[in-house]
Structure 1
């Protein structure tokens, strides 16, 4: 019976951590969106100025 009580105590501690983990996952998702958006913006700028970049590099 004490095994069940120990397991229950472990589960109760794990449940207390769920809000913190959810906040961390949400922050990581926002970071992913930010990085993806920045990468897309850089790619769009390179594509827009591709001819000028080629001329400047002598390609």
Structure 2
């Protein structure tokens, strides 16, 4: 990722990780691996308003 996801997405990911049991890093790793293994093009994600990692 080139930028931080919007806060609503961050919270949704944390909630999902809590539901499934793995910690947040494992949930992110699993999501990225699934995305890389996917043969579909996926959908575009609106990153408007997302903070840059370098802007911490």
Which TM class, normalised by the smaller chain length? 0.3 to 0.5
TM-score by length of 1: 0.31
Higher relative contact order (CA 8 A, sep 6+): 2
Between Structure 1 and Structure 2, which shows a larger proportion of helix residues? 1
TM-score by length of 2: 0.32
